[in-house]
Amino acid sequence: MLALLWIELNKIFRRPRTYIAFGAMAAIVWLIQLALYFDGQAYVDLLLSNLSGSFEFSDLFKTQLLNGYLICFVILNTLLIQMPLLVALVAGDSIAGEASQGTLRFQLTRPISRAQLIFVKFAASVVYVLCLLLWLALLALLGSVLLFGVNDLVVLRSTGIEQMQMDDVFWRYLAAFGFAAIALTTVAALSLLLSVLSENPIGPIIATMSVVLVFTILSEMNIPIYDTTVKPWLFTTHMVAWKGFFYVQADAEGATVRGSVENLPAVLRSAGILLGYIALFLWTSIYLFRRKDILT
Amino acid sequence: MKKFLLAFTLLMGVVAQAQTPEELVRSIKSKLDRVSNYSATGKMKTNVIFLKAPIAKVQVYFRKPDQLRILNEKGISFIPKGSMNMDLSQLFIDPAGFDLLDLGNDKKTGWRIIKLLPRDPVSDVVLSTIYVDAAAGLIRRSSTTTRENGTFELEMSYGTYAEYGLADKVIFSFNSQEYKLPKGITFDYDDGSGKKSTSTGKPTKGRVEIYYSNYQINKGVPDSVFR
Amino acid sequence: MEPLVRVSHLSKRFGSFEAVRDISFEVNRGQVYGFLGQNGAGKSTTLRMIMTLIRPTAGSIEVFGLNLEQHRKEILRQVGAVIEKPDHYGYLSAYENLRMAAVLCGIHPSREKLMQQLDFVGLADRAKSPVKTFSQGMKQRLGIATALVHDPALIILDEPTNGLDPQGIADIRDLIRRLSRDHQKTLIVSSHLLSEIELIADSLLILHKGEKRIEGKMNELLNPAETIVELELGNKAAASILLQQTEWIGSVDWRSDLQCCVRMPKNRIPELVRLLSEADIPVHAVASKHSLEYYFLQLTQTETHVGPAVD
């Protein structure tokens, strides 16, 4: 199995197109960092515009606010939509791309089972996702910290502000990246399923993005009929649960409780739902692939 | 001995009761005038309905007549607007600039209630009410309405530095404006707990508590702090 | 001896279209078994079913005495195949593609062994070149190398000479002969090029529109005693009557007013010519066709099952 995984990883990382994703991510991150480096104060002013009636913000405060941890948070927020596309580029190509190239025959006339092939391609996609996230962590977290330093992290929610002390932030990012791995693996599993159904890689890539976009819109909308029926079960609703690690508990006097997560059971539940989706997509992929006639 | 102490306290109370508002204000001012500047270490708790902030270690700097700065050099602290009013000494720069109204003693605490009405029609302070521990000559509570920063309240507790009129603990209550950001900007995580928004559409009250320690009185404060 | 491959009542339906209809055949060990048929006859579909790329609608396949559905992995360890055009990973080299094929078969041959296999197909000097730079013939040879990498007992080649120049075709033909004769491999080779099958196959199955039209040993199908004679004659009417009346003539097929093809015993050609001459029927040309091509074309055009010619 490991030898097969090595083959799949070779295929992914020997192709120049794989590095488009890494390059695109670097470009986006650097652009954001560059913009905030030179014009970060304007961004901070915008963030604080809602609060200037209640608090006074010195230049020192603004400089402290615009630190590496906040920049990283901004970048992660921005990449919410782009990351699934970068994942779909590879996972969506995994079966359909080989079918269109004719190399699916090459593999399936060998003594490996179709289930094995799906598992191995899925595993390779997961490794790719982890590499992508590691790259993102290096660029967005390490890079931002080096450029902007560290300080307390202030996260703005629609109804409140969460502040964490600087030495209470790093582990949250580790947890958030870990969660993001599960979220993006869900996208990879969906892409793989769509790839099984197609013989042209463009289809699964576009279909994955369409599903993610539409479901994200549904997840963000506040329509009563959806809120209680569809929304809690959309995987996109749970993909943003990494933010839950940046929502803290407060004591009776409103002081942040160090090392706390506002609703850890909810975040874990979201992780569980995503794992369930992964299992569902994977199982369906295997079921359909085993019955598929390979005509290319 | 006990009877002597009781008699002495009663006598002081009578003496204090006997003080006019002007005399009280003068005695407070004389204490406050002893302090030209100070710096102190503070532990700051911020309690605003929409804000979760950690307890912060801050440095508080004061320089006469009305410069006060709260700084968190290592971390981030949300300093409420009008925080310079945390030190009431600016009220007493020119006591003659106020009309004083004696409202007697607060029933619960026994503190002397004095209203200060500024004579200057363009003064930032519109009205201030102070609750004075007459025997100690210390302001224990105040409620001040300003043109720029609205109404705020102060509660002071004293200890080691009472002789300078410097509190060990200050609770600063202020009006905070409503906070709300569109969900389409923040992309919040909906954890399904069905928590209702804390926003009521109306301004709310915020509170900052500072526990002071390590006052450095009249040792000088650099200009750079107030820039 | 038990056949190496036994296909029983195999059918495949795609929706309402029946690509393969109830075919049965057996391939014996050491044979070169030819699959012949026009494009769309069902050859590739049948081979894909044997290689488990397609699921049969009905029927069964046994290879090495084992049921294919139940023992797929075990069977495929001993089968190598090139189905239709051999597609490789163009961005990888020939060596890397071959190594990948080996790993997929569960083996890890040494570098020397892989180079030997590339040498066997004449690609040793291009081992490091990316496959996307290869000609069709080179890709075909690499395809055969990947099919052979795990030393299978059964080799299936689907249209192995497609797109090749005459030299390439000759090379493949030579390779097939070597595999059969020198390495005792069993081969199933499909083609629509009748001349190729005729030259390499021991046994033959002809498919037409998904149905088996004929199956048998090559030497039995091509009765050396019989031949097809192509005649160019001057008088169609008189010739028709004469040919019809001659009892040792099997069948007559008029292509035009001048040309006809006659199935008849080979040793009676001089007699036919004499009969035509005596009947004052001008004979402009006589050509004997000992070829499967005509036989195959006959079968596929008449839509009837035709057995070996009998005297």
Q: What is the DSSP string of A215-256?
A: HHHHHH---HHHHHTTGGG-HHHHHGGGGGGG---B-TTSBB
Enclosing domain of residue B49: 19-180+208-226
The mean-pLDDT minimum among B137-141, B177-181, C144-148 falls in: B177-181
Q: Let me know if residue C299 belongs to a domain.
A: no
Per-residue model confidence as pLDDT tens digits over A100-158: 999 999 999 999 999 999 999 999 999 999 999 999 999 999 999 999 999 999 999 88
Q: What is the pLDDT of residue C310?
A: 30
- Give yes or no: residues C140 and C232 share one domain: no
- Give yes or no: residues C215 and C242 share one domain: no
Q: DSSP character for C130?
A: B
Q: Let me know if residue B1 belongs to a domain.
A: no
The mean-pLDDT minimum among A90-99, B15-24, C70-79, C182-191 falls in: B15-24
Q: Say which of C14, C84, C103 has its CB closest to residue A3.
A: C103
Q: What is the pLDDT of residue B120?
A: 85
Per-residue model confidence as pLDDT tens digits over C186-241: 999 998 877 788 888 999 999 988 998 878 888 776 666 778 888 999 999 999 99
What is the pLDDT averaged over residues B23-33?
Answer: 85
Q: How far apart are CA C11 and CA C18, in angstroms?
A: 8
Does residue A74 carry a pLDDT above 80?
Answer: yes
What is the pLDDT averaged over residues A2-8?
Answer: 93
Q: Let me know if residue C275 belongs to a domain.
A: yes
Q: Say which of A10, A108, A111 has its CB closest to residue C105.
A: A111
Closest residue, chain A, to B50 (C-alpha)? A160
What is the pLDDT averaged over residues C139-168?
Answer: 91
Residue type, position B28, single letter = I
Neighbours of C181 (CB within 10 A): 11
Specify the higher pLDDT residue, C162 or B111: B111
Q: Let me know if residue C300 belongs to a domain.
A: no
Q: How far apart are CA C284 and CA B208, in angstroms?
A: 119
User: How many beta-carbon contacts under 8 Å exist across A and B?
Assistant: 148
Q: Let me know if residue C95 belongs to a domain.
A: yes
Q: Let me know if residue C168 belongs to a domain.
A: yes
* The residue to which tokens 């019955």 are assigned: A291
Which CATH number does the domain housing residue B129 bear? 2.50.20
What is the pLDDT averaged over residues B28-46?
Answer: 89
- Give yes or no: residues C162 and C36 share one domain: yes
Residues of C in contact with A17 (CB under 8 A): none
How far is the alpha carbon of C276 from chain A, nearest alpha carbon, in Å?
Answer: 54
What is the pLDDT averaged over residues B56-73?
Answer: 88
Does residue B16 carry a pLDDT above 60?
Answer: no
Q: What is the pLDDT of residue C38?
A: 86
What is the pLDDT averaged over residues C63-79?
Answer: 95
- Give yes or no: residues C138 and C192 share one domain: yes
CA of residue A192 relative to chain centroid, distance = 16
Q: Hey, are the CB atoms on C104 and A294 less than 8 Å from each other? A: no
Q: Which of C44, C53, C139 to mutate to test the interface with A (most CBs of A within 10 A)?
A: C53
- Give yes or no: residues C211 and C272 share one domain: no
CB B80 within 8 A of CB A54: yes
Q: Which of residues 73-112 of A touch B (CB under 8 A)?
A: 77, 80
Q: A255 φ, ψ to 5°?
A: -85, 135
Q: How far apart are CA A96 and CA C100, in angstroms?
A: 19
Where a domain ends, among C221, C250, C273?
C221
Q: Which of B49, B50, B51, B52 to mutate to test the interface with A (most CBs of A within 10 A)?
A: B52
- Give yes or no: residues C121 and C262 share one domain: no
* The residue to which tokens 């080691």 are assigned: B160
Q: What is the pLDDT of residue C304?
A: 44
Q: Let me know if residue B222 belongs to a domain.
A: yes
- Give yes or no: residues C121 and C238 share one domain: no
Does residue B200 carry a pLDDT above 80?
Answer: no
A220 touches chain B (CB under 8 A): yes
The answer to whether chain C touches chain B by having 3 or more C-beta pairs less than 8 angstroms apart is no
Q: Hey, are the CB atoms on A293 and C53 less than 8 Å from each other? A: yes
Residue B4 pLDDT level (bands cut at 50, 70, 90):
low
Number of domains in chain C: 2
Proportion of chain A in helix, strand, coil states, percent, rounded to 5? 75, 5, 25
- Give yes or no: residues C90 and C232 share one domain: no
Does residue C178 carry a pLDDT above 80?
Answer: yes
Q: Let me know if residue C306 belongs to a domain.
A: no
- Give yes or no: residues C152 and C37 share one domain: yes
Q: Hey, are the CB atoms on A108 and C100 less than 8 Å from each other? A: no
**Cβ partners under 8 Å of residue C153, min gap 6:** C4, C29, C64, C78, C79, C185, C186
Q: What is the pLDDT of residue C8?
A: 95
Q: Let me know if residue C301 belongs to a domain.
A: no
Whether the upstream peptide bond of residue C109 has omega within 30° of 0, thus cis, is no
Residue C295 pLDDT level (bands cut at 50, 70, 90):
low
Kindly report each contact of residues C169-177 with a partner whose C-beta sits within 8 Å and lies 24 or more positions away, as own/partner. C169/C196, C171/C122, C171/C137, C171/C141, C172/C140, C172/C141, C172/C144, C173/C199, C173/C200, C175/C121, C175/C141, C175/C144, C176/C32, C176/C200
Q: Let me know if residue B84 belongs to a domain.
A: yes
Q: Hey, are the CB atoms on A294 and C53 less than 8 Å from each other? A: yes
Which CATH number does the domain housing residue C168 bear? 3.40.50.300
Which CATH number does the domain housing residue C232 bear? 3.30.70.100
Q: Let me know if residue B194 belongs to a domain.
A: no
Residue B17 pLDDT level (bands cut at 50, 70, 90):
low
Q: How far apart are CA B77 and CA A130, in angstroms?
A: 36
Q: What is the pLDDT of residue C311?
A: 29
Q: Hey, are the CB atoms on A7 and C55 less than 8 Å from each other? A: no
Residues of B in contact with A56 (CB under 8 A): 79-83
Does residue B19 carry a pLDDT above 90?
Answer: no
Residue C45 pLDDT level (bands cut at 50, 70, 90):
very high
Q: How far apart are CA B125 and CA C234, in angstroms?
A: 131
pTM: 0.84
Where a domain ends, among C203, C221, C239?
C221
Number of domains in chain B: 1
**Cβ partners under 8 Å of residue C266, min gap 6:** C224, C225, C226, C227, C288, C290
Enclosing domain of residue C17: 5-221
- Give yes or no: residues C62 and C151 share one domain: yes
- Give yes or no: residues C68 and C189 share one domain: yes
Per-residue model confidence as pLDDT tens digits over C231-269: 999 999 999 999 999 998 988 888 888 999 888 888 899
Q: How far apart are CA C127 and CA C92, in angstroms?
A: 10
What is the pLDDT averaged over residues C275-298?
Answer: 81
- Give yes or no: residues C165 and C236 share one domain: no
Q: Output the CA torsion sign for A123, A124, A128, A130.
A: positive
Q: Let me know if residue B159 belongs to a domain.
A: yes
